[in-house]
Amino acid sequence: MNTKAVNIEQLGIINCSKIHRNLSVPALVQKAILRGEGKLTDTGALSVTTGKYTGRSPEDRFIVDVPLVHNDINWGKSNKPIKPEVFDKLYNKLAAYLQNREIFIFDGFAGADKKYRMPVRVINEYASQNLFIHQLLRRPTAKELEDFTPGFTVICAPGFKAIPEIDGTHSEAFIILNFEKKIIIIGGSQYAGEIKKSIFTVMNYLLPKKNVFPMHCSANIGDNGDVALFFGLSGTGKTTLSADPNRKLIGDDEHGWSDNGVFNFEGGCYAKCINLSKENEPQIWNAIKFGTLVENVIYNENGEPDYSDGSLTENTRAGYPVEYIPNAELSGLGGQPKVVIFLTADAFGVMPPISKLTKEQAMYHFMAGYTSKLAGTERGITEPQATFSTCFGAPFMLYHPAVYAKLLGEKISKYNSSVYLINTGWSGGSYGVGERIKLRYTRAMVTAALEGKFDDIKFTPDPIFNVLVPESCPGVPKEVLNPKNTWKSPEEYDKAAVSLAKRFADNFKRFQNVPDDIVKAGPKSEK
């Protein structure tokens, strides 16, 4: 047990029965099993269920409203304020709850670039959650551990439940960020993703003050050192397309873009497992082994998984270190991005499969963060619905979206990065009528963008979506590149395209004080 340099009494957490600091993976797995938190699977992974909370609980997240951050935060549905005195009372109750308990501490870093990384201390009630964050954050060397001083502390106790009418929370669960005290408290939820995303949210607040652009994206790097970024909401193909056997994975979810280049915030991956197959996603499949934490996957009595079973949740997950990916860039570092790719899955079947964006168009589509939900994916959805998630990660962005868009525009200009919008959705009609664009075509488009094969190809402006569409692409039939050509009725295409363009325009009205050149860079809702 290594408890050197650990002083949690100053946090009000006293008289703990045992304190474990930075236990090894085997020790954490053993502790979790002995404590009844989970079971080993046939591959040696640790399987747990998380109870009623099987995903993030955005209604239960709050930011402590103090003068230090009050004028910075874009207050609203995603960023709800809570008073300091409410935080203090709940914090004291949480600290009292942890007395006489065995607790697990992980000290590590968020950020591979030493200039911008944040030391994070995570204090867990559960050994399984400590295993998770051990695998997800950047792990320290023995020397770094000796001199470790946390920049932020996360205290997570799923067994402690709030009483809303007394504690001022929304429910029994809570996730509260206090920037003045540099503390995050999490209670009532055993979903490990709350820890990961709370730390990400803190980075999204701190880094822009250092002129670093924080991003909810994946990143990979080619043999020549060329870096590519992939932004996209769930279901757009971000994980599939960034996992390229010919390129090294820098990271799958959270990155910063500084004047030094791109750096991964994390030291691991948190992959979705629903309908996972060895054929389609071999890297994830093979990463689910000893040291991996698996959440809410159904296993039989022999410890064999049924990845198609979403009876607990569709949001089944596996958390594992990036070392489990064969072609990972373990340093977590890359140079300046050559190519930036925005991914959308347009179920209306009207957006071009690939288009090139100007800086202003890139800022517009980054702020829009468009994709579409499909019929049947959520209760009550009977036809495709447009979904807009600002900055491709609205729940984790504390500033006004324009702050992040401005950083994107500055980086694109400074480093001459090419930006492409790729539609991995439907063609020839909307969902139910048309067909999803073939994956081999999408891969060919990504490859062409990464290898600079569009440099000598002519682009034509799309009259509705106001983007530049290439006249050809190696490996892709020419007629596929113009979505109107794939519809039986050009008139029906125009009607559907204008309808989606109007949705873009209506969505963008919620952004105040955005420069005209960015507003005008969006789709045209009138032909």
Give a yes or no: residue 442 inside a domain. Answer: yes
Question: What pTM value is reported for the model?
Answer: 0.94
Which pLDDT belongs to residue 281? 87
β 174-178/183-187 pair status = antiparallel
Rounded distance, CA 286 to CA 276, Å? 11
Same domain, 400 and 304: no
Give a yes or no: residue 196 inside a domain. Answer: yes
Host H or E run for residue 130: helix 127-136
Same domain, 158 and 232: no
Same domain, 369 and 455: yes
Given 20, 138, 317, 411, the catalytic residue = 317
Same domain, 158 and 133: yes
Give a yes or no: residue 330 inside a domain. Answer: no
At residue 365, what is the residue type?
H
Same domain, 298 and 240: no
pLDDT in tens, 459-492: 999 999 999 999 999 999 999 999 999 999 999 9
- Residue that is last in its domain, among 297, 324, 351: 324
Which pLDDT belongs to residue 6? 80
Rounded distance, CA 522 to CA 520, Å? 5
Buried b (16+ CB within 10 A) or exposed e, 443-454: bbbbebbbeebb
Same domain, 342 and 230: yes
- Whether 346 is a known active-site residue: answer no
Give a yes or no: residue 260 inside a domain. Answer: no
Residues in the chain predicted with pLDDT less than 50, given as ranges, are: 1-4, 375-381
Same domain, 505 and 433: yes
Q: Are 306 and 276 in contact (CB under 8 A)?
A: no
The CATH number that applies at residue 511 is: 3.90.228.20
- Whether 458 is a known active-site residue: answer no
- Whether 525 is a known active-site residue: answer no
Which pLDDT belongs to residue 374? 61
Which pLDDT belongs to residue 239? 81
Radius of gyration of the chain from its Cα atoms, rounded to whole angstroms: 23
pLDDT in tens, 227-273: 999 999 888 888 888 888 899 999 999 999 999 999 999 999 999 99
Same domain, 158 and 272: no
At residue 450, what is the residue type?
L
Longest dimension (CA), the chain: 73
A 10 A CB-CB count for 490 gives: 10
Range of the domain at 363: 218-252+336-519
Give a yes or no: residue 446 inside a domain. Answer: yes
- What is the number of domains present in the chain? 3
Enter the tokens of residue 97: 């709850």
- Whether 238 is a known active-site residue: answer yes
Given 238, 247, 365, 411, the catalytic residue = 238
Q: Are 319 and 135 in contact (CB under 8 A)?
A: yes
Q: Are 310 and 274 in contact (CB under 8 A)?
A: yes
Closest CA to 102 of 19, 26, 185: 19
> How buried is residue 436: exposed, middle or buried, by Cβ count under 10 Å (0-12/13-18/19+)?
middle
Q: Assign residue 44 a region: left if phi > 0, alpha if psi is -120 to 50, beta otherwise?
A: left
State the alpha helices, DSSP H only, in 354-438. 359-368, 401-415
- Whether 317 is a known active-site residue: answer yes
β 261-264/333-334 pair status = antiparallel
Same domain, 178 and 94: yes
Same domain, 245 and 380: yes
Rounded distance, CA 326 to CA 385, Å? 37
Given 216, 248, 338, 359, the catalytic residue = 216
Host H or E run for residue 28: helix 25-34
Host H or E run for residue 448: helix 439-450
Give a yes or no: residue 19 inside a domain. Answer: yes
Give a yes or no: residue 21 inside a domain. Answer: yes
Closest CA to 251 of 215, 276, 201: 215
- Whether 356 is a known active-site residue: answer no
Same domain, 133 and 223: no
- Residue that is last in its domain, among 211, 241, 276: 211
Same domain, 200 and 291: no
Rounded distance, CA 335 to CA 258, Å? 9
- Whether 306 is a known active-site residue: answer no
Which pLDDT belongs to residue 202? 98
The CATH number that applies at residue 104 is: 3.40.449.10
Residue partners of 258: CB distance under 8 A and separation at least 6: 113, 115, 116, 210, 211, 212, 213
The CATH number that applies at residue 318 is: 2.170.8.10
Given 117, 121, 139, 197, the catalytic residue = 197
Give a yes or no: residue 279 inside a domain. Answer: yes
- Whether 216 is a known active-site residue: answer yes
